[in-house]
Every structure is written in structure tokens, then in C-alpha cells.
Structure 1
Amino acid sequence: MLTPLDIQNKEFKKAFRGYSEDEVDEFLDQIMIDYEKLYKENAELKEKIEKTQDQMDKYKNIEETLKNTLIVAQSSAEEVRSNATKKSELIIEEAEQRAKEILQNSRLEVEKVKQEYEDVKKQMQIFKTRYKTLLQSQLDAVLGETENLE
């Protein structure tokens, strides 16, 4: 590829009836100036493309990192949800077991109270019977003495 310096240093052979040397030099100078502008612009654009490519690579790395982070976050969220579900099931199971124990203890307590009630009822019946018997015997004794007195 030609550089602006190559154009500036280019010399042509002189020929009889050739082009006007001043016009050729002037034209080459103009070409050199334009070519130099294009050459610099091309170099700047290549540099911009390289910088842009570097930025794009960085963004691709960031994108990949974000994707991986999102995957890890989703996995963690799923694990947390799963653990929460298991824990809630365990809590419910423990609560149900505790409720069964409370019901069983309550039934036993009710049975115990019923048994105590029946025992007290029987004792009351026995007491009534004995008291009635005692009163009857006392009444019989009082009536027996009154008959003897008559």
C-alpha cells in the first residue's frame, strides 16, 4: 500500500514533449494531501474499530457473566423455594402430630374424668345407701323405744 511519503518522493522520468512538470507536481501534491487525509482517516477508523471490538468483547464477557449469574440466581431461588416447601411440610407434619397428641391426651383426660365421675357417683350411691340404712336403723330404734314406752 502506498503511503503519503511514497507519493511525495515519487519522481517521473523526463521525456521530450511530456506533461508540464509544474502541473504534475501540483497534482501529485494535491493527491498526496488528499491521500494523507484518507490514510490518517483510515488509521483512525481502524483504531476506532479495534476499540469498539474491545468494548464489544468486554460487553460480551459482561453478558456472559450476567447470564451465569442469572442461572445461579435462578438455581438458588429454586433451591430456596424447595427448602421452604420442605420446611413448611415438616412444620405442618409436626403440627399435625402435635395436634394428634393433644387430642389423644384430651381423650385420655376425658376418660379419666369420666372414670372419676363414675367412682364418685358410686361412692355417693354407697354413701346414700349407708346413710339411709343408718337413718332407718335409727328410726327403727326410736320407734322401737316408743313402742316399748307405750
Structure 2
Amino acid sequence: MLTPQEVSEHAFTKAFNGYNMSMVDEFLDILTADYTTLYKENATLKAKMKVLVEKVEEYRSTEDAMRKALMTAQKMADDLVAEAESKRNQLMQNAEADAKARMAELQQAIRDEQMRLAAAQQSTAAYVGKLKELHQHEMDFLSGLSKLTAAAPVSIDPVGDTARDIEENVERIIQKEQEEDTTDLSAPEGAKESSLYDELMELSGRKAPAAAPAEEDEDDVVEEPTRRIDFDNLQFGKDYEIR
């Protein structure tokens, strides 16, 4: 593309019957001025276009970077959501499993305690019945002793001695049972109750009033009222509380 300077300095060769030189020069001056203006405008527009192209490229690269960043952020968000949901589901499953296991343990513990309570109630009822039977037997025995004493006075008090012996034997048996409870907790309760009952029955049957000597004087005999022993409040073993 010709520059305005090249247009203005261009020289034409003179020829015979050629163009009018003054008119050609005048036209070239006008053309040079217009061409100069257009040339400058074209240069300005090219510069602006170059700047715009650079801006467009910059915006395009920025757009690509933003698009990549947005896609990365979206992917990270999706991963975080998926991970959070997975952890939530896992925690819920673990919590449900723990709750079910704990519930099963508690239910089993309740059943075990109910069985122990029923067994203790049954054993206590049987033990109380045996104690009442033993108490009635002892009362009958003491009543018989009082009748014998009233019929044949003696120099000593067999009823009082027998009652004291029974009390001492009962205390000794209670102490023995407590020691057995502390040393042998694995022994069955029914066996302990039967052993205690048999021993008390043996002791009660073994004690009998001695015959009064014939040579002693009846005036020297001092009778004491028959003592009644209350066996209802006796407690045997650390796990029994009889009221």
C-alpha cells in the first residue's frame, strides 16, 4: 500500500500531447490529502483492532480458566457431597447396629434378672415355709417339755436349758451359714437350705429333758416360765431377708 508521501512525490514522465501538468499536480494534491487521512484512519483502526483482538484473546483465556475452575469446583462439591452422604449412611448403620446390640443386651439382662428374681422368690418362699415348719415343731416340742415339767418337777430347768441350747445352736448354725456364704458362693441355695433345715431338726430332736432324781426335794425346785423362741426374724445367708 502506497503511503501519502509516495503519492505526493511521484513524478510523471512528460510526453507530447500529454495531460496538463498543472491539473495533474492539483489532483495529486487533493488525492494526497484524502489518502493521508484515510491512511491514518486505517492505521488507527488496525491498532484498535489489534488491541481488541488481544482483549478478546485475554477474555477467552480467562473464560477458559474460569470454566476449568468452575468445573473443578463442581467436581469437588460433588465429591464432598458423595463423601458426606457415604459417611452419614455408615454412621447411621453403625448407630442402628449398636442400638440393636445394646437393646438385645438389655433385654437379655432383663430376662436374666427376672429369672433370678423368680428363683429367689421361689427359694425364699420355700425357705420361709421350712422355717415356719421348724418353728412349729420347736413350739410343739417346748410345749411337750412344759407338760412334762408340770407333771414331774425336777431339780433343774430342762426347758430353759433346752431353749438356751437351741438358741446357741441356732446362733452357731447362723454363723456357720454366713461363713459358708462368704467362702462358697457357688453352692446351690436349695442344698444350703436343706442342710440347715436337717441340722436344726437333728439338734431339736437330740435335746430332751433329763429325768429328775427321786431323792431331790420338790421344795428346792424353782420353775421358770416356758420360754418361747421366735424364729420368724431369723436370717440365714446374705441374700435372704425374711420379714
Give the TM bin, normalised by the shorter chain: 0.7 to 0.9
Post-superposition offset of 1:2: 2.1
Say yes or no: does 1:142 pair with 2:142: yes
Deviation at 1:18, TM superposition (A): 4.5
- Supply the AA of the counterpart residue of 2:95: A
1:89-109: CA deviation from partner (whole Å, max 9, x where unpaired):
100011011101111110121
Matched, 1:76 2:76: yes
Q: Tell me the CA shift for residue 146 of structure 1.
A: 4.3
Structure 2 unaligned segments of length 5 or more: list them.
Answer: 152-243
TM-score normalised over the length of structure 2 = 0.56
Distance 1:125 1:66 in 2: 86
Aligned residue in 1 for 2:50: 50
Letter in 1 for 2:91: I
Residues 139/9 of structure 1: CA separation in 2 closer, same or farther (3 Å cut): same
1:46 shift after superposition:
0.9
Partner of 1:104: 104
The aligned amino acid for 1:93 is Q
- Aligned partners of 1:96, 1:20: CA distance in 2, in Å? 109
Task: Map 1:1-150 to 2 at 5 A.
Answer: 1-14=1-14, 18-19=19-20, 21=22, 23-148=23-148, 149=150
How big is the alpha-carbon RMSD for the aligned residues of Structure 1 and Structure 2?
2.0
Q: Deviations over 1:51-74 (max 9, x none)?
A: 111111111111111111111111
Q: In the TM superposition, what is the alpha-carbon distance from 1:26 to its structure 2 partner?
A: 3.5
The structure carrying a bigger helix percent of its residues is 1
Once residues 31 and 133 of structure 2 are traced to their aligned partners in structure 1, the CA distance between those partners, rounded to angstroms, is 148
Post-superposition offset of 1:17: 8.1
Q: Could you tell me which runs of 5 or more consecutive residues in structure 1 were left unpaired when the two chains were aligned.
A: none
Task: Determine the C-alpha separation between the residues in 2 that align with 1:62 and 1:5.
Answer: 43
Percent identity reads 27
Partners of 2:4 and 2:19 in 1: CA distance: 24
Q: Which has the higher contact order (CA 8 A, sep 6+)?
A: 2
Cα gap change, 1:102/1:133 in structure 2, threshold over 3 Å: closer, same or farther? same
- Return 26-35 or 76-85, whichever deviates more: 26-35
TM-score w.r.t. length of structure 1: 0.87
| Aligned residue type for 2:79 | E
Q: How many equivalent residue pairs?
A: 149
Bigger CA radius of gyration = 2
Deviations 1:88-145 (A, max 9, x none): 0100011011101111110121022112202321221122112111221122123323
1: CA distance, partners of 2:18 / 2:120:
151
